[in-house]
Chains A and B, each alone.
Chain A
Amino acid sequence: MTTTLYTTDHEWLAIDGDVATVGITDYAQSQLGDVVFVELPKVGRSLKKAEAAAVVESVKAASDVYAPVTGDVLETNDALAAEPALVNSDAQGAAWFFKIKIADKSELGGLMDEAAYKAHTA
């Protein structure tokens, strides 16, 4: 059973036990426009909550993607290197960015559920 949470910076996290799969929201991709490049963190990197973890670039601009929680990177989505446009077509599915081992579950408390995120972007 996974739970999906959201950050004010427009990342989503699908929580499964102590592992979170992280990506950017459909709202975020619609604001960025055509994604042409994604830079992902190295597997094994220790990320602190709110640290710049990945970069997503559209034709016009580069945007940081922040670590929504503290933890080590377990896996990254290699499909994004070959097909950055996946971020536009399936932001909250196939275009996940990385999986992170959640170091401190209490950090999840500050995140939004889907209804709260919808209100945030309304």
Chain B
Amino acid sequence: MLARDDRESLKRTPLYDLHVSLGGKMVPFAGYDMPVQYPAGVLKEHLHTRNQAGLFDVSHMGQIALRPKSGRIEDAARALERLVPQDILAIAPGRQRYAQFTNVDGGLLDDLMVANFGDHLFLVVNAACKEEDEAHLRANLSDTCVIDSLTDRALIALQGPKAESALAKLCAEAPTMKFMDAGPHQVAGLACFVSRSGYTGEDGFEISVPAAAAEHLAKTLLENPDVMPIGLGARDSLRLEAGLCLYGHDIDTATTPVEAALEWSVQKSRRTGGARAGGFPGAEKILAHFDHGASRRRVGLRTEGRAPVREGALLFADSAGGEPIGKVTSGGFGPSLNAPVAMGYVPTGLSALDTKLFAEVRGQRLPLAVAAMPFVKNTYKR
């Protein structure tokens, strides 16, 4: 239980009062007082998002505009490429891409979304990392860019098969957007940034809205009977079923993009032999992992029984004896699968699909197997 002073030091998003009025159970998360669930509970919230639509407050995340001093977007893109292993120059206007800030050891400082808004780049970073990320950008890119932290905006995610129809009532262009399209749009007459993306594996949108209008927009969306408010609990079980990494758990400063099975997110132009190979922190190690492989790998794990295997559980090659060969980094119960799901790191030689392993849970070794991710098929509108 948090002491009262600790509770009072927590920050609140512009939707705090709405969460409380909806019966949200508030918990500390990344320095914010956030709803972990509403009265419906994690299970119903999870399934509602998969079957209809869920509304998530993700205003704790950092929103940063990277404005090129020259006025040329390619200058901002080239500058950002000094900090990430992604091809930023190739992001077309109105498009968004998943990226990571790397450190000199090839590890990950954070993962983020980068959108090209025509005259500037729009970044969304993790709440727990946003101050360090901003300092990192200022320290490295201030020569070419103005780094503008958009603290006066909230961020609302609308996810699930009914997200499109729910948003279409307030934003006529929404149905014309494809997965990872991103840009300024009017939503309910408000100047918003909308992207067709999310963290659930479902089709859906993320809407950056001026803080003062956030509650109005959230309430308007919630008037739609298809839309239910969803807390952090279901957000975590949804992203886990979707096989998506949680920064600080599945990826961190000690994991490279290759170890994390995020090769798909590093375009060929930045790899060995590419037009702009390397040139980001830790390039030597990361490119060596691309060229020669890494010794461990993030994999999906499914158990035979119903006991969830959770973060921190040690993995073993055999049912008894031996040293641990790896560790679970995220694990829990997948409501859509009605079964436990987990992910973790194992030696590359034990990373093939269906490899039998054991996880130590309460002193017992439970059998599990390497499984394909996403665990639940994604429904992105490509």
Contact = CB atoms under 8 A, between A and B. Distances in A.
B118 to A, nearest CB: 41
Given A36-B333, A37-B333, A58 B42 contact: yes
A33 B307 contact: no
Nearest to A34: B43
Given A58-B42, A59-B42, A33 B306 contact: no
Interface string B27-60: 0000000001100011110100000000000000
B310 interface: yes
B335 A59 contact: yes
B147 to A, nearest CB: 36
A57 B309 CA distance: 10
A18 B8 CA distance: 49
Interface in A26-80: 33-34, 36-37, 39, 55, 57-62
Contact of A57 (B36, B44, B237, B333): B333
Contact of B308 (A33, A34, A62): A62
Given A33-B233, A37-B333, A59 B43 contact: yes
B308 A37 contact: yes
Interface residues of B, number: 20
Contact of B42 (A33, A39, A55, A84): A33
Contacts of B233: 33, 59-60
Interface in B116-156: none
Interface residues of A, number: 14
Contact of A34 (B36, B41, B307): B41
A83 to B, nearest CB: 11
B332 interface: yes
B37 to A, nearest CB: 6
B362 interface: yes
Contact of B333 (A55, A59, A81): A59
Contact of B307 (A37, A58, A59, A60): A37
Nearest to B339: A36
Contacts of B206: none
10 contacts: A33-B37, A34-B41, A57-B307, A57-B333, A58-B333, A59-B332, A59-B333, A60-B332, A61-B310, A84-B306
Interface of A: 33-34, 36-37, 39, 55, 57-62, 81, 84
Interface of B: 36-37, 41-44, 46, 233-234, 236-237, 306-308, 310, 332-333, 335, 340, 362
Given A36-B306, A59-B46, A61-B310, 15 more contacts: A33-B42, A34-B42, A36-B308, A36-B333, A36-B335, A37-B307, A58-B42, A58-B333, A59-B233, A59-B234, A59-B335, A60-B237, A62-B308, A62-B310, A81-B306
